[in-house]
Amino acid sequence: MLVLLVCGPIDKCIAAKAPVLRVLVLEARQMRLRADGDVPLRVRGVGSRERRISALKVRVSRNQLQFAFNGKVGPWTASPRNAVLKISSNDRRGIWLGKRRYRGELRIVLKDGRINVVNYVDIEKYLPSVVGSEMPKSWPIAALQAQAIAARTYALKKFGKPGIFDIRATEKSQVYLGIESETQSTKKAVNSTRSLVLLHQGKLINAVFHSSSGGKTEASGSVWKKQLPYLVSATDYDHHSPVYKWRREFTPGQLKVAFKEIGGLKSFEVLKKSDTDRLLALRAYGPKGDIWLSGKELRRRLGLRSTRVRLQMSSAKPSRNGVKNYSSSLFFSNKESPSKDEPIAINSQRRWSSVGGLPLLSEVQNLPSLPPSVSIRPPLQSPPPLFDLDPPSPLPSIPRSMNLSVIGFGSGHGVGMSQWGAHGMAQEGASFRRILFHYYKGVDIRPYSSI
């Protein structure tokens, strides 16, 4: 196994040899490992000597690791407290963990009552799988190369953090599905960009990426706490993406589950959006009260692809006696004009306007911050009129059951490189350098050994 020599922080000095990453590939209560063929697995950490086996079962019992060798059901052997099992193999076909194979060494640790399997793997052997897990192998080589450099930079930025692993194998970090995701094209993309990383003022950048932005990427400060100089908004070339525009419908029953603390959703109020029309904050009104939500929280509750959305509420009941169903809408994208039959939200301070007879709450901008306990509501009783006027006609009541329609754009947080945008640029002949310089502003591309 290659050894990493580090002098100071990783963004100051990295030895020429490829770093060995610690990738968390599984958290479970039980698991099974096996050799790929006749070459046995080597196991250390069980007794004083190395054991050679064909298979290994591990489970958690009474907050302790127990294992059985060579596929036996029992008896189970308990490992010492705080033991670390190390499994390796000389077989280039790797080690089977469940239905996936991994290169390098697998280490098994008990943490918080669960088995944690951490893959210790050379970063240059890790990356072909990441590229193949994040992008289709058939994509242009320039897009795959851009993905390889971004993924290498992202992983090294996480390298050496406290704990038992550096990075996860899921979308919480970047997807890593083992040897099965490696292809000749992903290996070529990694080998042709070997050791290249993205730097800003001599330091590794946080090279985040996402699937598709829906036309324009987002600045980091609109999604996370810190605005980084290289993660600013850029025009995206993802119009051919299958998730460039999408639609979701939610029934009253689904909304009641998603907004259970307020008994469902009857209307909403957009409080803040980003410069690229991503939802940052809104207020949701239900039969039992109202709550404030961030755009990320709304996305999580409804399982949306992104926060760049347009919302519309409409009656869940069919019209009666020829009277049109009432509906209320807030348009979150300023790039598409609503049809003539749709109500338009007026960009102003909070106001009520009548659309089809229903009070429509327009989009809110520049509202002062209020604590969650403070409600913004019309007064229960109107003050006495200053002049003698005919009383207004009563407004119809808002239907009890409301559907929610969501028209969305893009997929992911929208910050950094758009993978479908990289694909679009590569199809037009752009190199990996041009792609990366477009999505990460003011950066350099250099080998990590030169840091």
CA dist 94 and 244 (Å) reads 38
402 contact partners, CB below 8 Å, separation of at least 6: 252, 255, 264, 265, 266, 267, 313, 314, 315, 316
For the chain, the domains span 30-112, 133-212+415-450, 245-318+325-332+348-365+399-409
How far from 111 is each of 26, 28, 173, 279, 339, CA to CA, in Å?
12, 10, 20, 37, 55
Quote the pLDDT of residue 46. Answer: 77
Which stretches of 243-391 are DSSP H helices?
252-258, 295-302
Which helix or strand (DSSP H or E) is residue 269 part of? strand 267-273
> Chunked in runs of 10, what are the mean pLDDT values of the chain (451 residues)?
43 62 96 91 86 91 86 71 89 94 95 94 98 97 98 96 95 96 98 98 97 97 95 97 97 96 94 96 95 96 97 73 43 35 32 32 37 40 46 54 94 97 98 98 94 77
The predicted structure's pLDDT at residue 49: 86
Distances, alpha carbon 359 to alpha carbons 33, 199, 329, 399, in Å = 62, 53, 11, 12
Q: What is the pLDDT of residue 255?
A: 96
Q: Please give the structure tokens belonging to residue 369.
A: 């911050």
Burial of 434 (0-12, 13-18, 19+ CB in 10 A): middle
How is the beta sheet containing 289-294 ordered, strand by strand?
A: 267-273, 279-286, 289-294
Q: Are 108 and 117 in contact (CB under 8 A)?
A: yes
What are the CA-CA distances from residue 185 to residues 135, 136, 238, 370, 417 (Å)?
11, 10, 22, 54, 20
Closest CA to 291 of 254, 319, 315, 264: 264
**CB distance 103 to 120 below 8 Å:** no
Nearest Cα residue to 310 out of 275, 270, 271: 270
- Quote the longest CA-to-CA distance of the chain: 98
Q: What is the DSSP string of 99-123?
A: TEEESSEEEEEEETTEEEEEEEEEH
b/e 183-192 (16+ beta carbons within 10 angstroms → b): bebbbbbbee
**Does residue 90 contact residue 72 with C-beta atoms inside 8 Å?**
no
- Secondary structure element (H or E) that encloses residue 133, with its range: helix 123-134
SS3 of the chain: helix, strand, coil, percent, to 5: 20, 30, 50
* Of 398, 406, 403, 400, residue with least CA distance to 254: 403
Chain Cα centroid distance, residue 303:
11
Q: Which residue spans within 29-128 are E strands per DSSP?
A: 30-35, 41-44, 51-53, 55-61, 64-69, 77-78, 85-88, 95-97, 100-102, 105-111, 114-122
What is the separation of C-alpha 96 from the centre of its chain, rounded to a whole number of angstroms? 27
Please tell me the predicted confidence (pLDDT) of residue 72: 64
